[in-house]
Each structure stands twice: as C-alpha cells, then as structure tokens.
A and B are shown apart, each in its own frame.
Chain A
C-alpha cells in the first residue's frame, strides 16, 4: 500500500516537473510567434505596395512623392559581409582552438589564450565600432586598398574579430573531448601530431566544429553597431570588395529613428527577411552537420 502511494506521489511530482519544463519551452515559442506576428503586421504595408518584388529590388529612394524601396542591396550586403567574416574567422578560430585543446592542452598558456579570446567576446559592439572607426579604418587607408577605409572588407574584418570567440570557445570544447584512445591509437601507428589532427581529431569533431561556425555566422548576420560605422552606408549593391555597401541590420539601425509610414514598414519588412535568412542559414548548417556526422 505504502509502496503504491509513494509511486503515485512521486509520479505526480515528476509529472508536475515535466509540465513545468514543458511550459518553459512554450515561452520561447510564444515569444517567437509574437515577434513574427508583430513584425509581419508592421511589414504588410510595404509588401502590399511593392509585392514580392520588394525582396529582389535594389532600389532605395526615400524622396517623398516617389518612394521606392527594395531589400536586395541589403540582403547582398549582409550575406557578403557575414560570409567574408566567416572565411576570415575560420583560420583564426581553428588555430586558436587547436592551440588551446591540442598543442598546449591543459597548460597555463592555453588558459591565458582562452581568457584572451573570451575577452574578445566581452568587448561591447559599440566599442568595436569606435575602435574600427578610429583605429582600423586609418590602417586600411594606409595600406591603400581603399581610399576612405569604409567598405565591405573593413566591415567583414571587424565582424570576423567579433565572432572569433563564439567559434573558438565551442570548437575548443569539442576538440578537447575527442576520445583519447583514438588519438593514442593513431600515435601508436606512428602518425605525427598534424596527421592525428587531420585524420582523427577533425573528422570526429567535425559536427561540433561546424556547429560553432554556424553559431558565429548567426552572430555576424545580426550585428549592427560595429558594421554600421564601417560599411559606408551606401544603399546600393556593392560593386567591389572595398566599395561601401549596407547590411540589413545596419540600415534598420540607421534609418529607424527618422522613418515613418512606408519607409518604416519597409525597414520592418527587412527585419522580417533577416529573420527568414537566419532561419535558412541555420537549416543549411544543420544539413551540413548531418552530412558530416
């Protein structure tokens, strides 16, 4: 008898716990649904005016009377800067995580490096913006690659620096978890460290490494302040690596304060599209992970 009632109580308690956990997941669901709903209602005027062509139009004319908006210029800018940032970030994050979790694993040096990389994550984005504007930009101007220093490349560079900690911290955790037995087996066969890394560590950690890069990419897609100070804010499709352009997050931040009516709706529509692109990038990342796992 006692045994049965204990079972029932504990089962009830467990059910309560389970439902509490479940309801907390609902928060995320309701939040996202609410956000999409609010954004969608704000974006409707723009889509009603320009139709689906809004996504593919590179126009951006705020002159009252002949307003014409399109998001293509910003979609291009966002994708270009984020991808370029990721490409620049990959060798840096790879080196740093291998340093921390393979070559100097467990040493003081490794934890110093890890703290330094974590520090990068702690720099507020507005500080990256200032530093980029006052320090990085003149540097780029000196190299002569771009005479004003603004542009896709500078923005991607600062983005790359910003997202390195996200990629590194997760990657190094995953790499350090690769089973020691497998590595030892490879070493016992006479492999060099480099060979072990390329043939054992990386393949087994691949899905985690890709996940960390997806995380970093997601961060790059949404970054606002640092990009807006360095990208030159030209509302056109950039015609070169060192030409100015604009990203979705940056144009929203720049113009939201003064926007109204149709332009506001266009900006919110851009926000919605950014939401969709982030979801797309994440989905692609998942597929890539599944292929490697």
Chain B
C-alpha cells in the first residue's frame, strides 16, 4: 500500500515536470488568470489561450459555465474577466458594482440545422422560420416552404422543432434576430436566454440539439455555426434584410459586423444592414471592470488580463479563430476594441500605454 502511494506521488512529480517545459507553468513567476463564461467561444478561447501560454508563459484558466455564469463570476469578483454572448443590458450594468467594459473577440453565427434525408440547400425566410417555431407550419412540404425552394422536392414529413433546454447565448442571438425580423415573434416568444417555446422538444447544449437533429429525420433546430460545420449537419440559407438568401460561412458572418459599431461595442449584429451579411450573427464579448484595482486584484494580474484580452483581438489570435471556424473581427471592430481597452485603468492610470 505504501509502495503504491509512493509510486503515485513520484509519477505525479515526473509528469508535471515533463509538462512544465512546454507550458512554462512550474518555473515561471508569472501570473495565472482565471476567466469564465460562454460555451460558444470555448473551443476558440482554449486554443488561443494555449498558444498565448506558449508565447508568454501566462496561463489562462477558462471555464465554459455559460454567459450568465461569466457575468455572475465577474460580479462576485472571483475571476479576472468574464465572457458572454449577450452584452449586459443597462439594468444588468447597474447591478455590477463598478463600471464594466465590453470587448468583442470574434463573431459567431447561429444556423438553422435540419435533417431531411437527401435534401440540401434549403432556403428559409424569417416568416417561414417564425411559422415553424410558432407551430403554424407543421409539414415540410407546406406551400410556404415550397414557394422559396422550388428546386427541391420536400417530403410530406412532420416538422419537429428542437430548442435549447438550458439557458444559452445561442438562444438569445436567435430570438433577438427573430424578434427583429419576424412579425409575431416579439409578443409570442420574445428575446432571451431561456424562453417558453410553444412547440418542439428540448435538448441540452449545442451538442444535444445537434445530436437530436442528426438522429431524427424531419427535425429542425438552431445551433452554433461551428457545430454544424464540425458535425456536417446541413444548415439553411436565410434571407437577410436585403432579401438575399445568404448561406452561413466565415465571410458572411464577418460581413454582419461591417456596420457602424457604437463606442462601447454593445450592439447586436443580428439582421445586419450589410447586404452580404448572414443575418443571425453576433459578437461574443469579454467583460471586465474598467477600474482594475478592486478587491485583491493585483497590478500584475490586471496588466496580464488587459494584455491577454488585447492579444485576442489582434491578428495572431484572429487567424486562430478562422482556422477553427469562428469568424474574425473586421477591422473597424478591432479598432473599437482597442479604444475600449485603452481606457481600462489600474488606480486611475491606463494600463496600456
């Protein structure tokens, strides 16, 4: 028994020494940051922070506990920064004890994924989507759907709607778009992270919805773009504000952000005015306190935080994003982000000079 314990401890030490070389964690006097928030950008952040650690030795522990969790953690001051798919509303900003700034890091798209055996290239308009999710359109060969998909032979199959059971930024983005682009959506369902859906079944998480759709024919649901790509689920082209049917891809997602962005970057990109934009897109933001000297937040941590977040908006991290199917920030957004970061201070002095 004793031998077993000694063996275990010894292997622990050996393995951690082996890895500290490549991660620079054991030896550095550097900082470890913790962050929490949205699951949508989790794969991108994990990859980006890994590269960041290799380059600078600063480790970032990011936990994908959900946008709400990120906001709560920042409010409770137990993380260095949070991440959220939906920017804080004015009411929410009031609940944070001190001013909070938003920095967009990449752009994500919500796609309508479907399972129709043998059919790809489905086109949908906001009216059709509204009809499906509100229960008005119940069959795939409904004339309204057929009208915009004349080249497809739609089956006489019941439509099964799949939505998210857990509170989610993806739901928020989708419902925000539908409230803007639909006619009845606003009063029947509304915008939010958790909604009362009149029809359909619930699944947990993007993987739950994606899995449910892949397993059953006739289903349609909303998932993150990178999920549809990774699991090869067909996604519909959606008619945007200019009337063109746009397929979701990295270009059409980034195009949604080529509009005027307010100084605090709090804007929903859904139903973008850009004619080449895919209409169901959004920034994902990092949130942190404007004044970084709070509680036991050290100067070293504050500087590391701001530098890490800045790095995320720059070209190295942005090309990492593209490589894993997250849409990069257009130039205007990068400039806005930089301006926002330049006002973050420690004891009144801006951190970035």
Contact = CB atoms under 8 A, between A and B. Distances in A.
Whether A and B touch (Cβ < 8 Å) is answered with yes
Interface of A: 60-64, 133-134, 137-138, 141, 147-148, 150, 228-229, 232-235, 244, 254-255, 257-260
Contacts of A229: 204, 208
A258 to B, nearest CB: 3
B201 interface: yes
A63 B216 contact: no
Contacts of A234: 201-202
A233 B194 contact: no
Contacts of B342: none
A61 B196 contact: yes
Interface of B: 65-69, 71-72, 92, 160, 165-168, 190, 192-196, 201-204, 208, 211-212, 215-216
B68 A257 contact: yes
B198 to A, nearest CB: 11
B208 A258 contact: no
Given A61-B196, A150-B201, A255-B166, 7 more contacts: A62-B192, A134-B211, A150-B202, A233-B203, A234-B202, A258-B168, A258-B193
A148 B208 CA distance: 13
Contact of B66 (A62, A138, A232, A258): A258
7 contacts: A61-B196, A141-B216, A147-B160, A233-B166, A233-B202, A257-B68, A258-B167
A77 to B, nearest CB: 13
B202 A259 contact: no
A228 B204 contact: yes
A199 to B, nearest CB: 46
Nearest to A250: B165
A53 to B, nearest CB: 20
Which of B66, B67, B160, B202 lies at the interface centre, i.e. has the most chain A CB atoms within 10 A of its CB? B202
A254 B166 contact: yes
Contacts of B215: 137-138, 141
A62 B195 contact: yes
A260 B204 contact: no
Contacts, number: 72
A53 B139 CA distance: 40
Given A133-B208, A134-B211, A258 B201 contact: no
A244 B208 CA distance: 15
A170 to B, nearest CB: 27
B204 A232 contact: no
Given A228-B204, A233-B165, A254-B204, A260 B72 contact: yes
Nearest to A138: B215
B194 A255 contact: yes
Mostly helix, strand, loop or mixed at chain A's interface?
Answer: loop
B202 A63 contact: no
Contact of A254 (B71, B167, B196): B167
Contacts of A257: 65-69, 166-167
A203 to B, nearest CB: 42
Nearest to B165: A233
A133 B201 CA distance: 14
Contact of B201 (A60, A61, A232): A232
Contacts of B160: 147-148
Contacts of A233: 165-166, 202-204
A235 B196 CA distance: 9
B196 A259 contact: no
A137 B216 CA distance: 11
Contacts of B68: 257-260
B165 A254 contact: yes
Given A150-B201, A257-B68, A258-B66, A63 B195 contact: yes
A244 B204 CA distance: 13
Contacts of B204: 228-229, 233, 254
Contact of B190 (A63, A138, A232, A260): A63
A150 B165 CA distance: 12
Contact of B196 (A62, A64, A134, A138): A62
Given A244-B202, A258-B68, A63 B192 contact: yes
A258 B195 contact: no
A91 B203 CA distance: 31
Which of B71, B194, B195 lies at the interface centre, i.e. has the most chain A CB atoms within 10 A of its CB? B194
B165 A259 contact: no
A277 B228 CA distance: 42
Contacts of B202: 150, 232-234, 244
Contacts of A259: 68, 167
Contacts of B166: 233, 254-255, 257-258
A148 B158 CA distance: 12
A147 B216 CA distance: 9
B208 A62 contact: no
B62 to A, nearest CB: 15
Nearest to A244: B201
